[in-house]
Structure 1
Amino acid sequence: MYQEPSNWSLHELSNYKFGRQSFCVTNFPESVWNACSGFGNVFDLFISNNKSILGKCLGFVRFKGVHNLDDMVNSLCGIWFRYCKLFASLPRFDKKRSSQTPHFITSKVVKQDSHGNSYASVLKGSF
């Protein structure tokens, strides 16, 4: 019988249950979406304007329905674009999720009737 790992965060468990996983990819052309869609259901693609330490293009691909991470990384590493080989790995850092719940204001603002002096009445001297 299968048991979920107890030391995983809620975000990691939800990604594992629904099969969503991000992969860091480098050394790719603009048509990376079409190339990666042959290996699974592409859920999200982010191509950074920044380059990696080696000066290569850097991006992240998120797939739905991934169950074996090692096989997926090996499959992605086998993609060639003419003379350039795609390099793939799991991201080193996971996106931080906020643990705070949003605050909703339920009280209504009540306008108070002010009988004080106005700015114009003070200037006129009729206060």
Structure 2
Amino acid sequence: MGAHNTNHLQSKADQTVRISKSVFVSNFPEGCTAKDIWKVCNDYGIVVDVFIPNKKSKVGKRFAFVRFIKVINLDRLIENLNTIWIGQFHLFANPVHFERPKKQNLSPHNNAAAVSSYLRGVDQAKGQFQTGSYVNVVNGSSPVGVHGPFISSASVLVLDDSCVAERDMSNHVMGNVKDVSSISNLRTLIMEEGFS
């Protein structure tokens, strides 16, 4: 009877996944909970699930996945969700580009094989990485037997167009000083040289 119940529940979950549409939602306050997102989104459709991951987006904002059922027009739903304001935050909604992969049904026999192969990998990893340490990573040295991707020590900063500031620099002077103590009266020195 237990196996029949499990299959019945899995089929209900599969049916829900088939008839539902997921929406990616971002730009909401830090203190906002899944319940809050559920309430504001439920005005525009029937919400069946809200998931807020612990990690943040590339721009440092929190995001959520909201699953709706009985969606006739997904584009219209997203347009409506884009009109929502939570406090001073304007909600951004987009369709989910990639659905979550289905969970595999593991029988006890397959599960035992997976666990044993995992344990073999752990044993191999222990033997291979025992000499590695945090100091080796910081110094950039690789201990013997450790093979991994090379990580560049050079920092990279990627900025988009919103970070570009356009200013009139025709009246600006740039240079360097030999003595740090001359910085305090630099304006006076520049004025004496004829710059105003």
Q: Please state which band the TM-score falls in when normalised by the shorter chain.
A: 0.5 to 0.7
**1:21 alignment partner AA:** K
In the alignment, which residue of structure 1 is the partner of 2:27? 27
1:41 lines up with 2:46 in the alignment:
yes
Q: Secondary structure at the match of 2:98?
A: coil
Number of equivalent positions: 89
1:81 lines up with 2:86 in the alignment:
yes
Q: Secondary structure at the match of 1:49?
A: coil
Q: Percent identity?
A: 36
Counterpart Cα distance in 1 of 2:40 and 2:105: 39
Counterpart Cα distance in 2 of 1:104 and 1:56: 41
Relative to structure 1, the CA distance from residue 101 to residue 48 in structure 2 (aligned partners, 3 Å threshold; closer, same or farther) is closer
1:17-66 per-residue CA deviation (whole Å, 9 max, x = no partner) reads x3x10001011232111101111111001011111111111110001111
Q: Which of the pair is proportionally richer in helix? A: 2
Larger radius of gyration: 2
Relative to structure 1, the CA distance from residue 104 to residue 51 in structure 2 (aligned partners, 3 Å threshold; closer, same or farther) is closer
**2:93 alignment partner AA:** A
1:53-107 per-residue CA deviation (whole Å, 9 max, x = no partner) reads 1111111000111110100111111100121100010112111125x655477xx
Question: For residues 48-67 of structure 1, what are the structure 2 equivalents within 5 Å?
Answer: 48-67=53-72
Q: 1:97 aligns with which of 102, 108, 112?
A: 102
**1:36 alignment partner AA:** C
What residue ranges of structure 1 are gaps of 5+ in the alignment?
1-10, 106-127
Counterpart Cα distance in 2 of 1:50 and 1:91: 17
TM-score, normalization by structure 1: 0.62
Where relative contact order (Cα < 8 A, 6+ residues apart) is larger, the structure is 1
What residue ranges of structure 2 are gaps of 5+ in the alignment?
1-13, 110-196
Give every structure 1 segment of 4 or more consecutive aligned residues whose post-TM-superposition deviation is greater than 6 Å.
none
Q: Which of the pair is proportionally richer in strand? A: 1
TM-score, normalization by structure 2: 0.42
**RMSD between aligned residues:** 2.0
Counterpart Cα distance in 2 of 1:77 and 1:64: 18
1:69 lines up with 2:74 in the alignment:
yes
Counterpart Cα distance in 2 of 1:101 and 1:34: 34
Q: Secondary structure at the match of 1:59?
A: strand
Relative to structure 1, the CA distance from residue 104 to residue 43 in structure 2 (aligned partners, 3 Å threshold; closer, same or farther) is same
